[in-house]
Every structure is written in C-alpha cells, then in structure tokens.
Amino acid sequence: MLSAAAVLAVGSVALTGLGFAVYLLVANEPTSTEAAANSQAGLGTMPSGPHRRDSISAEPMLQVSAQDGRGGVPSSTPAPSLTIPAATEIRASEVPSGFPPTPQGAIGQLAAIEITVLQGMSIPIARDVYEHWSEPGPADASDWELMRNVQAFLGSAAGTDVEDPTTMVVAEPVGAQIKGSDGAGWVVACVLLDVRAMVATEARVAYGHCARMVWEDSERRWVIGAGEPPARAPSTWPGTDLAARAGWRTWISERG
C-alpha cells in the first residue's frame, strides 16, 4: 500500500488520490538491488552489529509490478498468518503504542505509525510523527518514504480537495512479515496495507513498507531505527499467490 503500486481509475478516468501519489513514487524511484547484491551471502554466520543490520536491511525482496498492487486472483490456499498485539495506549503525536518488545510488537508499532501519517495526510503531521517516532540520525523527515507519499498526494489533483469533508484516506493492515532481526531489540518489520483514497471516486491500492525498528528500553517503545532504509517491500494484492510468495502473512489482530 504505500510505496509500491498505483491505482488506475476505471476506463479513461485519470489516476486519482493516493493511487496517483503512489504512481509518482513508483515511476520516479525504481527498486534497486545493486547495493544488496552480496547481502545474502554469509548472513547466517555474520556476527551481530551494524554490518549485519545493514545487510538485513538491504537484502532485496521480491520485485513486483505496479499492476500487482491493484488487484489479483484470490489464492485457493490460505497464507500463513501472524498475530499482532493490540495497542494499549496513545502516546506522542497521537500514535497508538504500548506494544511489547517482540518482533510482532515492532510490526504493530510500525503499522500504527503508518496509519497515523496516511490518514492524517498532512505534512505537519508526518513531520511531527517522524520526529517523535524515530531515532536521532542524519536522515531528515524530508527523506522519509511516508513523507514523500503525503507530498505526492497533496501535490496531485486530489490533494486540492483534501479539506473537503468527503475526501478521506483509510489505511488498514492486512499483511505482515519479519524480514530479519539482530538481537532482541532490533528488527526489520514489514507491513502490507490496504489503502483507500476517497475523493470524487475511490482509489484502492496495496502498499508494502518496511522499516528498521529499534526498542527503546528507557521509553518502553519501538521507534524507527537510524540507517539506510530497507530495500523496497513488494506491494502485492492481499490474499493472492503472489502475496504469499512475497512473504506476506495474513494479519490477525490479537484480541485484548
């Protein structure tokens, strides 16, 4: 749902809403696997530390087309599932939190961050969330993938109507995977979202997004970790054979 697929409106209608925003990102930022060419070799025996983490982050994922995020034939075989804990509190920037220090907890926190940014669809909100929910480092909010999605949406034709009460963006997690981990407090978490942008018509797209997540023991929370962002996640239509091949497991919310 967010940095990997585009939604085409029916017939000759132009690209609209979030679909157009995502289309811009895909068109201008093709997936590159050059930096990750050697990441898989020796990863199993690589010692814990920055080099291992960079290798996990850069390891390429299944490459898919923009069309694969717009729809697909439902699979006859149910995909494996992953149960994600529920948030227990609201913290900085109105982001749900309270997730446990487990890989599933990191996934839950990443999804909460993504949903807050996408449904808020505001540059100030995106910047505020990034500043409160990421480790200090050289990267700025302007370099954040989710910020670029917000900018693309607001810069599209649909963005001119963002103040209209009928304009709405809704994001729901439908898939997740743990790309890799290094110790108990570091994981590359990936979330597959079902994102719907409703302006005059509805545009729908599948968006896969990964992030380094780091457990802050002093604050008892997960945050986005510093370092080069992970390789682009595959945005595949949920429930398809391709989604399962890309590693996505069906999202199941833990009952409180």
pLDDT band, very low/low/confident/very high, at 227 (cuts 50, 70, 90): very high
What confidence tens digit (pLDDT) does each residue in 142-168 have?
999 999 999 988 887 555 555 666 678
Average pLDDT for the chain: 83
pLDDT for residue 164: 65
Q: Are 59 and 36 in contact, with CB atoms under 8 Å apart?
A: yes
What is the arithmetic mean of pLDDT over 164-189?
A: 91
Residue with more model confidence, 91 or 66: 91
What confidence tens digit (pLDDT) does each residue in 95-131 have?
999 999 999 999 999 999 999 999 999 999 999 999 9
What confidence tens digit (pLDDT) does each residue in 206-215 have?
999 999 999 9
pLDDT for residue 199: 72
**Which of 16-25, 178-187, 233-242 is predicted with the least confidence, judged by mean pLDDT?**
16-25
**Which of 28-37, 87-96, 240-249 is predicted with the least confidence, judged by mean pLDDT?**
28-37
What confidence tens digit (pLDDT) does each residue in 42-58 have?
566 789 999 999 999 99
C-alpha 167: how far from its chain's center?
A: 22
Selection from 160, 136, 145 nearest residue 114 by Cα: 145
pLDDT for residue 168: 83
User: What does pTM read for this prediction?
Assistant: 0.84
Q: Is the pLDDT of residue 10 over 60?
A: no
> Percentage of the chain surpassing pLDDT 90?
67
pLDDT for residue 162: 59
DSSP characters for the chain?
A: --SS---PPSTTPPP-HHHHHHHHHHHHS----GGGTTSSTTGGGPPSSHHHHHHHHHS------GGGGT--PBPSSPPPEEEEPPP-EEEGGGEEE---SSHHHHHHHHHHHHHHHHHH--HHHHHHHHHHSB--SS--GGG-HHHHHHHHHHHSTGGGGTTSTT-EEEEEEEEEEEEEESSTTEEEEEEEEEEEEESSSEEEEEEEEEEEEEEETTTTEEEEPSSSPPPPPP---TTBHHHHHTT-EEEEEPP-
pLDDT for residue 107: 98
pLDDT for residue 256: 58
pLDDT for residue 139: 84
Q: Is the pLDDT of residue 26 over 50?
A: no
Residue with more model confidence, 39 or 164: 164
Give residues with Cβ within 8 angstroms of 73, minimum separation 6. 240, 241
What is the arithmetic mean of pLDDT over 167-184?
A: 93
